[in-house]
Structure 1
Amino acid sequence: MTRGYSEPPQKTDAVIYLRVSTEEQVDNYSLDTQEDICRKEAQRKGYKIIKVFREEGRSAKTINGRPELVEMLHFCKKNKKSLGAVIIYRLDRLSRQTSDYLSIRKTLISNKIKLISASEPTGTSPTDTLLETIMASFAQHDNDVRSERTRNGMYARFKSGLITRKPPLGYKMDESKFPVEDPESWDKMVQVWDLMAIGNKSLIEITKIMNEMGLYTVHKGKKIELRVPTVQRMLRNKFYAGILTSDTYKEEVQGQHRPMISLEQFYKVQAALDGRRVYNPVVNTKRVRNNKTFPLRRIVKCSECGRGITAGWSKGRSKKYPYYRCSTKCQAASIRAEQLDEEVVRLLRYISPSKECIELFTQYVVEEYERRLANVKKAKNVADDEIQRLKDMRKVLVQKNMMGVYTDEIFMEQNALIEKKLQKAHVAKADSTLEKYDINKLTAFIKETLSDLGATYKKSTVPQIKALFSSIFPKGVTYDFNGTLNPEMNPMYQSLFNFNTQG
């Protein structure tokens, strides 16, 4: 490009268009640097800059994805009588797509506006136009090559078992962009997966527990409270089981990161999710949820009508008092919450087994635990054999598909059947949480819980009280609002109680 004397332009007004993509925001490509070079070129050619359009951090693939470029073209059409030139730092600042570049060039020419590159030859002669088009084509080619490299690089990273996006809750990226355990959330997420595997809590309850644990997601730098759909998506993510999945590549590969859970536990949770409604109708309002002031609500029943008792506050002269009452309009009276609590504690202390009874019971628990554990191990061995058989079948299926014996349609159909059977086998393998329990800790917990049921009740949370009552009194406890509690004990616990009283 000749940098000597040039004739002054007929239309002396000009605009500058600047663009830098996010990955190019370094000194040599900064907008301020580009603008300085463009202004010097305008001054050298005799143009007066009347407006500067700055496109910051945009890597859009089309013109519509660059609002400043769209506005600049509109400005050119509106001011075509006085506007003589659009000055850019480099041709690829307009577009790396040849078709887009030619479209922009055509718009400017039709409005008799020159396109001037501060670092490349531009003009209106056939030679200049050809050279510009070649350079624009090269810009597109360069962009396509870099995009292909990026895609290939991401695919290669995926195939090698490395994540290509932000890891899920419980993990974080280290300095080398490798997913590692996040010390703030790892143990909490392990607990969440264990709770889901047990299968006695709804997604609403799990979500509430996670929020109470202090778990959260981050969006645009802000902490966001977890919601049921978010938690459900987390629990569907195979990343936790050490597997990377991709909707883009339609593949699964073994990840290099440390799995949080086994594949068996993952499939067990999937079975729990598939077999349960997302929302638990039993706890769909704040009023029915656990309330520390009224732990016996819905647990104790009215002896008059058989319905679960409810609770509320009664106004006194100076303050409010908590009361339990029947949830229907039967003739039963009401009772102060404190009084019913005391009666429940007395009942639980009365039926607390002796030390000898507890020893006999824990001995039975250990024997039953060992028997069930042996059955679990046997079932796991059977499941392992089935999993290996299915994997061998899949290998043969892949080979025959590659040889052309099976069409892609047959391959996909048979592979889906094998995957379904594999999932069942993994669920069968994980169909027990016994191995997670330390039998010594379990027996210690039983002894502490049963030694004084009244004390256990007083220090328990509402969910723990519900669990305690449902295990000892599966058919519930009725109350006549005259001081009489009528419990119907679990047959096993009734035997302990009888042994206790006879001894």
Structure 2
Amino acid sequence: MVILKGAENMTAIYARQSVDRADSISIEQQIGLCRYEARGEEVVTYIDRGYSGRNTNRPEFRRMMDDIREGHINTVIVYKLDRISRSILDFSKMMEVFGERGVQFISATEKFDTSSPMGNAMLNICIVFAQLERETIQKRVADAYFSRSQRSFYMGGPIPYGFRKIPTVIDGIHTSMYEAVSEETDVVRMIFEMYSERDTSLGDIIVRLNEFGMKKRGKPWVRQRLREMIINPIYVMADGDVYDFFQDNGADMVDAKTAYIGENGCYSYRRCTDGNKKTTDGIQIVLAPHKGIISSELWLKCRRKCSGRNAAIPSQKARNSWLSGKIKCGECGYALTAKEYDGGRRRYLRCSNRQNSGSCKGAGTLYTAQTEKLVFNEICVKITELFCTEKAAQDAERLRLENELWETEREIEGLVDRVNGADDAVFRYISDRINTLDLHGKDLIQRIKRLANEGGAGFDEKAPDMTLWNELSFEDKRQVVDTLISAVYACEGRIIIQWRI
């Protein structure tokens, strides 16, 4: 409720209810008891529904405090102390404002008189116990979660591929459990069997899955999700060997080894923050009620292989090419990453999308050194153009036309891919659109040729002087590239640069 401008010396009633339960006092009941304390005086109410008392991030509470600072309120009545605050720090700040503005604070059930020292002392003691109650509730919730997890109850989270969630009863309590989905478990088994082969990588598996047209519930497979599947004990038919594996790696085993009979999967809970992902320190293992789908021998073989190598590509500072972070795949727009092989003797640029999911055909074979030389040649041309106004304008127009031509060709390729399966109406539209784009593309090619002839031989035929460039440090080269270039798109057989200038 908004106080009318000019209103002074009002009595405020504040009410809060975080959860509407049958055993909790309602907002209306709180206001009724507070009105009795107002002894018939005119009151203004501030109500926060669905907000916790652990902090003051409540809209009506903030509005009330603003009205107090403006001098509109001289008394605040609450049903109970914890309705207005459960934090000692927040409560002390609030009472400081009350004291500065001469506002009296009344608790309808606890009968505080803040005008006396004893009343203030009792008030502070009660707020300590209010905070203790809140912290006790939090601890009780955490203990309940821990207890339920140890009893194999379903604790939420994404449903793993290969399973669906079904209702069940454990120890007389209704909960949920996993049930295998036959069409997905076949894919899961194939993934584990492929990865168990010595020379098969996660990337190889993704390529195979894409060849078969297999997706993860409509989405393409990526390395990180594939790795998470392989190390997840939810799939294993846990036996004594699985128990020994986790125990040897420092996990807390809730169930006895005799319960590991080679049938059920396992839940894995992380009890504490641990950045070392190669161990199971800080992990709690609980036998799950569902049946596993991967034999312990196969699962352990894949788990050890996955833990023994850095399966996920780590983020790291660019060091293999000064084009890193700028150069992208012209097919999908994902970044190209610089890779070194044979101790740095062979250096390539690879499409990260192709590596992670295999959903892009890639930009062909791109040698890092050759690509860097091509981009450097264009940088030399661009720098020279800055001092040649007429030629700079011509080349800028040529670049614009080339980009437009590239976009036109991309649109034509996309339309061609949609021809198969199109009905007559759609086919006619695609055919007409392709003809229009083809004519536009031919016109662009002619305009590009005319600009090339008008510009003469240009600078492409000159071998740029690499001496000064080679003297620059790696970071200096990256800084120059970042100043001049916003992005480099690499397609098979050509490079397109988007300049900042």
Regarding TM over 0.5, the answer is no
The structure in which a higher percent of residues are helix is: 1
TM-score (ref. length: structure 2): 0.44
- Which structure has the larger Rg over C-alpha atoms? 1
Higher relative contact order (CA 8 A, sep 6+): 1
TM-score by length of 1: 0.44
